[in-house]
Amino acid sequence: MTAAAPLATGRARPVRLARPRLAVDTVTFAIEGGRLKCYLVQLKRGLVGGKWAFPGGLVGRGELLDDAAHRELAAATGLNGAYLEQLFTFGDPSRDPIAHVVSVAYMALVDTPCRVSACCAKYAGAQWCEVAALPPLAYDHAIVAGYALKRLRAKLEYTNIAVHLLPPSFTFAELEELYAKLLERPLDRRNFRRRIMAAGLLRPLGRMRYGAHRPATLYAFAQRSLQMIEML
């Protein structure tokens, strides 16, 4: 979402010729059913009504950009305190068909896609959509999506960013599947485990996960804060 809700200002000047407005838009990723999904909302009003887009909105007076992104994300999903990272600022005056709205794009990562509440009144609908099969998106959001995905992939390879996509405890196989899915290539199980462990990324919990077969030891990330590493 990008355009202001009330597009007309008090003045008579056409919106197209007004000063650029400033918005944030947030691409939220989560793993669900072993697939990477992102959160889309359906727009209500204006030329873009009915189209799907990433949630977003204008930056408030005196508001921090990060705060605006958190606020819009919470409004659209009910999630508070998600991991957020600024991506890039998209400023083409024609990206929004109605007004000149410059958008600071953010990426959010979430480990519990199920927990999002139904969308707020601001939007006509909301859904988690597989990244590999996005519908046509409003504005320049297809480009934003590509940018976000690229950033996420890159950071997988040199940070512990996966901490934000996984629950507090997980098995090695789950971590490996996440990497393989996102990087779109198979990983050698033994080599992968060696590298991850050598990087000091994980801490084994004492516990096991029991399931249909041999139990798997559970791990947690050593730190939740951003950690730079060499691997893959």
Partner DNA sequence: CCAAAAGTGTTGGCTCTACACCCATGA
Partner DNA sequence: TCATGGGTGTAGAGCCAACACTTTTGG
Question: Per-residue x/- marks for a second copy, 17-36, CB under 8 A?
Answer: xxxxxx--------------
- Closest distance to a second copy from the beta carbon of 136 (Å): 24
Residue 64 contacts a second copy per CB under 8 A: yes
Closest to a second copy by CB, 83 vs 147, is 147
The residue within the footprint of a second copy, chosen from 6, 33, 34, 62 (CB under 8 A), is: 62
Residue 89 in the binding site for a second copy (CB under 8 A): yes
185 contact choice in DNA, a second copy, none (CB below 5 to 8 Å, kind-dependent): none
* Region 164-223 residues binding DNA, contact defined as CB under 7 A: 171-173, 188-191, 193-195, 210-217
- Asked whether position 102 contacts a second copy by CB under 8 A, the answer is yes
Site for DNA, residues 104 to 133, rule: CB under 7 A: none
* Nearest by Cα to 55 from 41, 67, 65, 68: 41
Using the rule CB under 8 A, is 151 a contact of a second copy? Answer: no
Least CB distance from residue 213 to DNA, whole Å?
3
Q: How many residues does the chain have?
A: 232
Stretch of 35-43, 85-93, 111-119, 186-194 lying at the interface with a second copy (CB under 8 A): 85-93
51 backbone dihedrals φ, ψ, rounded to 5°: -80, 160
Cβ closest to a second copy, residue 53 vs residue 99: 99
- In the complex, the residues that contact DNA under the rule CB under 7 A are 171-173, 188-191, 193-195, 210-217, 230
